Amino acid sequence: MRRRATRLMDSAEFCRLHEVAQLNMVAKGEVRMGLMSVPDYEAPMRVCFWCGEPIEILLFGDMTAAQKKELEAFNAVNDQVPAMVVTDHEPCSACTELMGRGVCIMEAEGTGARTKATGRYWVFTDSVINAMISDPAIRDSILKKRRALIDRDTARRLGFYDMEPPAPTVH
């Protein structure tokens, strides 16, 4: 979808078109003297970093300055805005519920301050962690924190990639 030039829209027109979003923009101080700068394209969908499921429409007024700049740069290169955007590493409600069922082992790349999560994770019961990790200090730390990072090679060696995901449950 092509992005047209940013245009000024008076607050009455904006309110008519974006009733809920106006409250966010006013709260964030983006409305000044009844006029605001509004990009003229459809807002992307914010998605969960962990499962990729849509969470909400990402409104321009909810974006940080860095996110707005990144979105503009993407649009300049691709002549369209992305349909889906990951804004943070916070899990959605479904992932939060799943991660809370046991010990969450998250795959990560890099070392030290450059460690970045890949988005792949596994949730194990305490008994599986007890059987899997022989070092009592490491095991107790993981069981206490309820989460740990693992690199891709170790995950493959432990057979994590060979596991079948659990069947979806019907509530």
pLDDT of res. 139: 94
Measured in whole angstroms, the distance separating CA 10 from the mean position of its chain's CA atoms is: 32
Q: How confident is the model at residue 140 (pLDDT cuts 50, 70, 90)?
A: very high
The Cα 83–Cα 45 span in angstroms is 6
Taking the whole predicted model, whether its pTM rises above 0.75 is answered as: no
Handedness of CA 144, 147, 148, 153 (dihedral sign): positive
Proportion of the chain in helix, strand, coil states, percent, rounded to 5: 40, 25, 35
pLDDT of res. 102: 93
Beta carbons of 119 and 152 less than 8 angstroms apart: no
The residue among 166 and 121 whose pLDDT is bigger is 121
Strands ordered across the beta sheet of 54-57: 54-57, 45-47, 84-85
Where b means 16+ CB within 10 Å and e means fewer, 147-168 reads ebbbeeeebeeeebeeeeeeee
The Cα 166–Cα 143 span in angstroms is 22
Q: How confident is the model at residue 41 (pLDDT cuts 50, 70, 90)?
A: low
Q: Which tokens in the block code for residue 21? A: 């979003």
Q: Which tokens in the block code for residue 159? A: 């057979």
Per residue in 92-138, pLDDT (tens digit) is: 999 999 999 999 999 999 888 888 999 899 999 999 999 989 999 99
